Structures are given as C-alpha cells and as structure tokens.
A and B are shown apart, each in its own frame.
Chain A
Amino acid sequence: GAGVSQSPSNKVTEKGKDVELRCDPISGHTALYWYRQSLGQGLEFLIYFQGNSAPDKSGLPSDRFSAERTGGSVSTLTIQRTQQEDSAVYLCASSLGQGINSPLHFGNGTRLTVT
C-alpha cells in the first residue's frame, strides 16, 4: 500500500514569501505529526493531530507557522513570511493511533530552501 506522501519534494522560495507544504498520510491513520529536520537542530517535533484536532502545537517555532488537517486525512503546514532560518526538511508522519503500539511512518519530506 501507499506510504505517507509529501509534496512538493523540494521548494525554493524567496524570503518573505508564504509557503504551503502538503502531507497525505496512510489511509486509516488517525494520528499525524509534523517534524522539522535541520543541520543545527536535528529532528524536532512541530505539531500533532488526532483526527482534525491538534492537541499539541508546542513545537511550532513561531506564530508564522500554522497547520491544519481536514477530513481526518490531508494536512497542510503553512509558513508565512519565510525566513532563511526556516530552511530545513519538513517531515510528516502518521500512525494508526497515539498509543505505544502505533509506530510512526514517515514520508520523505519536503526540502525547503529560503533564499
């Protein structure tokens, strides 16, 4: 079956522009996560969705970052007024649930470069 799909795979944008990153989780997975991977900070948690609700947004670095999930499926991570420090690989993961027996399945990420 299909895994977690992310688009675009690469995005180059100018500083100050807004970007939207998309994640299609594995069908039937109720939990969805966004992580960011950068050279300086490693892999960092951003936000967690259970269904369409986000009970944990604690990892979002600033109010320029937001995310939504619709229909319990597709999620979009939006970064407004991008800055160079936003350059990173943004990874999406999904799991069947939030419990201990629900390992995360990661997509291949969107590599964002802010020039």
Chain B
Amino acid sequence: GESVGLHLPTLSVQEGDNSIINCAYSNSASDYFIWYKQESGKGPQFIIDIRSNMDKRQGQRVTVLLNKTVKHLSLQIAATQPGDSAVYFCAETSAGGTSYGKLTFGQGTILTVHP
C-alpha cells in the first residue's frame, strides 16, 4: 500500500548546527504534508505544514521543502538547540480521503542535539 518513509532513523548534531531531516513519500495523490515533533512521553506536536502547490514554507527556525518530482520532503531546523531533541515524523494526507486529519505517518527520525 501507499506509505511514507524516512531515509535516516537517527541524526546527531551539535548545538548551533543546522539539521536536515528527510522523508520520502510514495502516494502521488498526497496534497498536504505535515511535520510533527514528539518528545518522550508526549503526543506529536505540530511543527509546520505545506500544501502540494508550494515547494517551500518557512516558520520560526524551521523550513519545509517539498519536491513533488521525486516525492521528497525535508525539514530544516536552523541553529539547532538541545530542546529540539525529539523524534520527528513526516505525515501525508490528501483531499481524496475522508478527512485531512487521516494521516499516514513516516517511521520517524530521532534527532539528538549535543550541547
């Protein structure tokens, strides 16, 4: 079936570095993508989203890039801080589903930021 997957299960960076987390998706009908951050013992927290009619969107210290040609999504975190250490999930959904809240999640990438 259709799925969303991540290239790297773990990423370790130094505080202050920029981080890039990648995600590949296979459902060409997907038209909405979201990045979530999950800290230990907590539920996923919304970071940033992007629609398929865009290729870049910026938030505070975060940027999401979408390449529909190769079905690739990335999350860039600028000046990574220890508080950014968490598991990051990409998720996709489409207008063809029952709801935009019915998400297909990737496996997750563990980001560790060293002081």
Contact = CB atoms under 8 A, between A and B. Distances in A.
Interface residues of B, number: 26
Nearest to B98: A56
A76 B101 CA distance: 19
Contacts of A107: 43
Interface stretch (B21-29, B59-67, B77-85, B103-111): B103-111
Interface residues of A, number: 26
Interface stretch (A60-68, A78-86, A92-100): A92-100
Nearest to B95: A100
Per DSSP, chain A at the interface is: strand
Contacts of A100: 32, 51, 95, 100
Interface string B85-114: 000010100010111111111111000000
A67 to B, nearest CB: 14
Q: Which of B32, B91, B102, B107 has the most C-beta atoms of chain A within 10 angstroms of its own C-beta?
A: B102
A95 B101 CA distance: 8
Interface in A33-76: 33, 35, 42-45, 48, 50, 55-56
Given A56-B97, A104-B46, A106-B45, 10 more contacts: A33-B102, A45-B104, A50-B99, A55-B99, A91-B43, A103-B46, A104-B103, A105-B46, A106-B43, A108-B41
